[in-house]
Amino acid sequence: MSLNRSLIFELLQIALAVCLASIGLKAFLLPNGFLDGGVTGIAILVSELFQVELSYTLPIITIPFFVIGWFTVARKILIKSIFSVLLLAVVIHFENFQSITDDKLIISIFGGLFLGAGIGLAIKNGSVLDGSEIFGIYINEKWGLSIGRVILVFNIVLFGITAFLLSVEVALYSILTYIVTAKAIDYTIEGFEDHVGLMIVTEHPADLRKAFTEKLGIGMTVNKGTKGVGSRGEKDDVEIIHSVINRIDIRRLQRLIDNLDLNAFVIEFDVNNVRGGILRKYLSRDQTKKSN
């Protein structure tokens, strides 16, 4: 029962993702001849060149990528992706949005925002609206190239063809649309809160642990290092503190470490996703209630 409920919830979110993507396409990009990256961009380019409805070109051009997906991704993801693309094609066909503006900068930004939010929400629910991700996975498995690099090269070729066949201006605005779309996808998948991972080696680990929990309200993991070697010589039985903190708190944490140990060894690194543990989330509803 819970599995069916979860699947229904996923499908409802995919439907919302399709609506967002279709608004970006029909209300902004298509009426003004702008492209996005990936397979969607190819479908729009073909539609512009041959005056064919995007609702027809999008599923047809996506077919080869779904064939690749049969050998590279899970069947559940592939089935939901086929459903998503077909639903997007249907919605685009029957949607009748009028162009909201003729300002090219606004078109690029907001078209990319809506399209990126839709693609990101679909990915978050185990589906894709653009087959270039599947192509990237295939190339990564076959030749070891990173997915991001494959998609980047894919889009460089696409925008180069756009500049040659349509115009340099359209290609440049389409690149802007692609950049906005990519950022919107990241924010939709990862959220607007940014977290930083920390690895800290200090001569005052007990004081630092106490300060972390009492002054910052965050948890940590303490690992035991057998030896530390540095400019001050060797030290046995080193404690290594690992933690994750919201970027909003990072300056406060740096001051706290400096007050306890100016010579502490600290590594900061970006964190894509965090689950569980003690972590302050400023943008959650619960945290907002507590702060009030």
Domain boundary assignment for the chain: 2-190, 195-291
**Per-residue model confidence (pLDDT) at position 291:** 38
162 within 8 A of 171, measured Cβ to Cβ = yes
* pLDDT by residue, tens only, the chain of 292 residues: 555 778 888 899 999 999 999 999 999 998 888 888 889 999 999 998 898 999 999 999 999 999 988 888 888 888 999 999 999 999 999 988 777 888 999 999 999 999 989 988 988 888 888 888 788 878 877 887 766 678 878 888 999 999 999 889 989 998 999 889 888 887 887 666 667 889 998 888 888 888 888 887 788 888 888 777 766 667 777 888 988 887 767 888 888 888 888 888 899 887 766 766 655 554 444 443 443 3
Cα angle: 89, vertex 95, 96; to 5 degrees: 145
**Per-residue model confidence (pLDDT) at position 290:** 41
266 within 8 A of 200, measured Cβ to Cβ = yes
* Distance linking the first and last C-alpha atoms of the chain: 38
The pTM (predicted TM-score) of the whole model is 0.73
**Per-residue model confidence (pLDDT) at position 292:** 39
Q: Measured over all CA atoms, what is the biggest interatomic distance in the chain, rounded to whole angstroms?
A: 72
Q: CATH top-level class for 195-291? A: alpha beta
Residues 6+ apart with CB under 8 A from 213: 219, 220
**Per-residue model confidence (pLDDT) at position 193:** 60
**Per-residue model confidence (pLDDT) at position 5:** 79
Question: How many CB atoms within 10 Å of residue 269?
Answer: 9
| DSSP string covering 59-109 | HHHHHHHHHHHHHHS-HHHHHHHHHHHHHHHHHHHH--PPP----HHHHHH
